[in-house]
Structure 1
Amino acid sequence: MQDPNGTERVATQLHQACRDVGFFYIQGHGMSGSVSNGVRQEARRWFNMPAHVKEQIALNPHTAFRGYQQLGANVTRYDGGFQRDWHEAIDLYKEEADASASPVHGQNQWPSHSPAFEAVLRQYISGCLSIGQAVMRGIAQGLGLQDDFFESKAGGLTNAESSYWVTRVIHYPPLQEGKQESGGAAVKGSSEAAAGGEIDRAVQLSCGEHTDYGLLTIVNQDPDIPALQVKNARGEWITAAPIPGTFVCNIGDMMRVYTNGAYTPTLHRVVNADPSRSRVSVPFFYETAFDAEVAPVAALLKDNKQPMFNPVIYGRHLESKVLSNFELGGSAAAAAV
């Protein structure tokens, strides 16, 4: 039998975390270690394969921006330019049959030449869909809404069947002082970044500072390599250190719209300053349906407060971000967040 007091307590904690921090850890999530650890272990083996093998599933516009991208292809943009992120990755999305409806619609390029990796990756995605739905029910309850609000049309049809989910499998090699990457800025300043300081935009990072595009991000990270950093309300960069058995989660841009600014996504970045070890992370992005209209929730507009945000069609918002997130062969193209 469920404990209503326990459920209410968790919902309150989620509300406080989303309102005040934008990041939180979850435990007791129900995913077995054989899946959460196994997907990282298999990913590490896959990223150690020769480049010509990985390039068999290379990402490009003709693959609906799904597949493998080499080191430095993913970029973080800012006013006046971009910086190349020092990681390689595989991007996957919810698969859609009608590829003509969007430049990101299509079928995934699964790492089929590594059957164990593909199998555990599919298990991982299925598990994250269940976790995402459960967490969003807690967030809805914490907001004072029906716990299935986000599964309704008004809440973006955000459920395990309709979510336009995104998964990134990411390998972060060590940042090295003074090393030059092809076509990019020097990989330097990692010590300052690792210490939580502000750094110049020209300094290479594992992943530059950004907020996520959608609803909820679930991060499965190596347990012994602290690299994820979060900018707190005082403007300080704080390490979101791995806690064994947990996932670290954060909210994205669409939660700001739904809550009319009550929840604000938090800037974060990745800095793998360990000189001898690489890091693997498998973030899962639990999102609304692609065609969902995201708008401030009427029930949250108290005291005659007016909406501060115009409605957003999530899929178009995603496209606008995705199509500027890569530099492939010197031309701008994109992939998932």
Structure 2
Amino acid sequence: MDVLQTPENVRRNHVANNGVHVGVGRSAGGCVAPERHIHRRLGHSPCVLRSQGRKPDDEYVRGSDELTDSATAHGNSTSAGPTLDEPNTTERGSTLNSDQLTVTVTDGFVPVIDLSSRDSARGRAAIAEAIGNALRGSGFFIIVGHGVSADLVDRMFTATNSFFKLPDGEKDVVASRPGVSGYRRAGGTLARSLDQKTPPDLCETYAAHVTGEMSDVERSTLGNEWASWTHKNIWPKDPADFKDAWQEYMAAMGELAADLMRLFALALGLDEGFFEDKFDHHGSSVAVNYYPPQTEPPLPGQLRRGPHTDFGSLTILYQEDERSGLQVLRGEDEWRDVAAIPGSFVVNIGDLMALWTGGRWVSTMHRVANPQSGDTSSRLTIPFFYLPNHDASIEPMRPFTDSSAVERFDTVTVSEWVSRKVQKIFS
């Protein structure tokens, strides 16, 4: 499981998956760039003014077929806040350039973006531009050249996969319970977070939090809402390296997520450090999904993970190589597969980030499809959920370009929003 650090490795592996490639350099040509930029208007924001008679969690951000060309969307903006420059993309097959530094991406709906040039100001500007395009379109992108150790990812995957293959009785020793995060034999029903009624998702989970090693007294300061970041971590004895691998992985993901947030700020025309004080005591987590072999047909409407949006600022997902199943909603009813590219991570934003940007970026519905009939393989995914401080107040930086739509937004705290969603999943 090699981390893709070079343009040649990226091209070789991505051609095998999608028949297109991504490169980074001063003359990378022949690449496929994002579709002509579109601003996906949100049907509703995650938070709606109470004057409309709805609570914030009555609405969610989802795929929509209301598409407006970026020139129109940005040209009529009356926001007093920072404005977004027109992205440097034109037709499919173009590249994104920043002072002759080329960052190439593939597949316009969920692009692949190489982060390997983020150690220079020009590279960061070009990468931020590519990210902004993706988050105004689908809300998803795939990253390579991210610098996370392939050995760490391999150890994390191996230890976690080994745990889920243990007998149920051994796994139940570290089961989640009041005040403790850990193993869940039933991973809840994610569609319930959007008030949709579906059968339970076909997955098991294991969760741990960056705050889970704090003392009971320290965790008691993290708010009164029902929230997982107030829970203590619990670790299995077998595999022996489970705890170490998870703690190292959470630390690496936290560093990567913090830099992605700095790139997000650049993409929004803000100072790189704009978000930092909103994450200085963040409550982020890893919540692994294990999808057991399906030896019996699922119930009608039952999926490995039902349709949902993520709740927080951003998610960094590791997918098992060559075993995807993740699908992103485009428009009202088109589910697009997201390739499992070796050495990559899938990044998407959640409801709070969409709210933060006033709806200019989108938190898009996604799901995990069942395998084809007769496929009895298991699947493991490792999402890292980067959440702001529990007491951070999230409010739009700027309104929609349609000034009347600003009334769809309201301020909400992180703990209020996330705890409400999580309770629905396990209700």
Using structure 2 for the length normalisation, give the TM-score.
0.65
**Equivalent in the alignment of 1:172:** 291
Amino acid of the residue matched to residue 325 of structure 1? I
Per the alignment, residue 54 of structure 1 pairs with: 171
- Give the whole-Å Cα distance in 2 for the aligned partners of 1:171 and 1:72: 9
Residue 240 of structure 1 is aligned with which of 323, 338, 351?
338
Task: Quote how far apart the aligned CAs of 1:304 are.
Answer: 7.3
Task: Give me the whole-angstrom Cα distance separating, in 2, the residues matched to 1:83 and 1:122.
Answer: 33
Residue 276 (str. 1) matches residue 376 (str. 2)? yes
- Structure 2: which amino acid aligns with 1:87? C
- 8 Å contact 1:219–1:248 — kept in the other structure? yes
Q: Residues 146, 80 of structure 1: CA spacing in aligned structure 2 closer, same or farther, 3 A cutoff?
A: closer
| 1:90 maps onto 2:206 in alignment | yes
Q: CA deviation at 1:176?
A: 4.5
- What do residues 101-131 of structure 1 show as CA deviations (whole Å, max 9, x unaligned)? 3433131112344321111111110000001
Which residue does 1:203 correspond to in 2?
A: 301
Q: Distance in 2 between matches of 1:246 and 1:149?
A: 27
Work out whether residues 272 and 279 of structure 1, in 8 Å CA contact, stay in contact via their aligned partners in 2. no
> Aligned equivalents of 2:187 and 2:248: distance in 1?
29
- Alpha-carbon shift at residue 263 of structure 1 (Å): 1.0
> Is the 2:189–2:198 contact (alpha carbons within 8 Å) kept by the matching residues of 1?
no
Deviation at 1:140, TM superposition (A): 0.8
Give the Cα–Cα distance (whole angstroms) in 2 for the partners of residues 73 and 207 of structure 1. 9
RMSD: 2.2
State the match for 2:101 in structure 1.
Answer: none
Q: Which residue of 1 aligns with 2:65?
A: none
Aligned to 2:418: 318
User: Shift of the alpha carbon at 1:41?
Assistant: 1.4
Identity of aligned residues (%): 31
**Equivalent pair of 1:220/1:282 in contact (CA under 8 Å):** yes
Tell me how far apart the structure 2 counterparts of residues 75 and 4 of structure 1 sit (CA, whole Å). Answer: 39
Aligned residue in 2 for 1:199? none
Is the Cα contact below 8 Å between 1:173 and 1:272 reproduced in 2? Answer: no
In 1: Cα distance, 2:324 partner to 2:188 partner: 23
Give the aligned partner of residue 118 of structure 1.
Answer: 243
Equivalent residue for 2:179, pick from 51, 58, 63: 63
Structure 1 portions without partners, runs of 5+: 179-186, 189-201, 327-331, 333-337
Q: Which one has a bigger Cα radius of gyration?
A: 2
Deviations 1:198-229 (A, max 9, x none): xxxx4210000000000000001101112111
Q: Which 10-residue stretch deviates more, 29-38 or 230-239? A: 230-239
Deviation at 1:257, TM superposition (A): 0.9
Partner residue of 1:191? none
Aligned mate of 1:294, from 394, 403, 416: 394
**Distance (whole Å) between structure 2 residues aligned to residue 30 and residue 233 of structure 1:** 33
**Is 1:107 aligned to 2:205, yes or no?**
no
- Measure the CA separation in 2 of the matches of 1:255 and 1:110: 31
Name the structure 1 match of 2:364. 266
Question: Is 1:76 aligned to 2:191, yes or no?
Answer: yes
Which residue in the other structure is 1:20 paired with?
Answer: 137
Q: Does 1:41 align with 2:166?
A: no
Preserved CA contact (<8 Å) 2:187 2:201: yes
Instruction: Identify if the C-alpha distance between structure 1 residues 230 and 175 changes in structure 2 by more than 3 Å, giving closer, same or farther.
Output: farther
Residues 2, 94 of structure 1: alpha-carbon distance in 2 compared, 3 angstrom cutoff: closer
Looking at structure 2, the residues matched to 12 and 294 of structure 1 have their Cα atoms a distance apart, in angstroms, of 24
Cα distance, 1:323 vs. partner?
1.3
Q: Deviations over 1:27-65 (max 9, x none)?
A: 1111111111221111111001111111111112x234x
Matched, 1:140 2:265: yes
Deviation at 1:281, TM superposition (A): 0.6
Following superposition, the deviation at residue 324 of structure 1 comes to: 1.8
The CA distance in 1 between the partners of 2:387 and 2:125, in whole Å, is 24
- Quote the offset at 1:255 in angstroms: 1.3
Distance 1:172 1:269 in 2: 13
> How many residues align structurally?
297
SS in 1 for 2:424: coil
What amino acid is the match of 1:55? D
1:93 deviation in Å?
Answer: 2.3
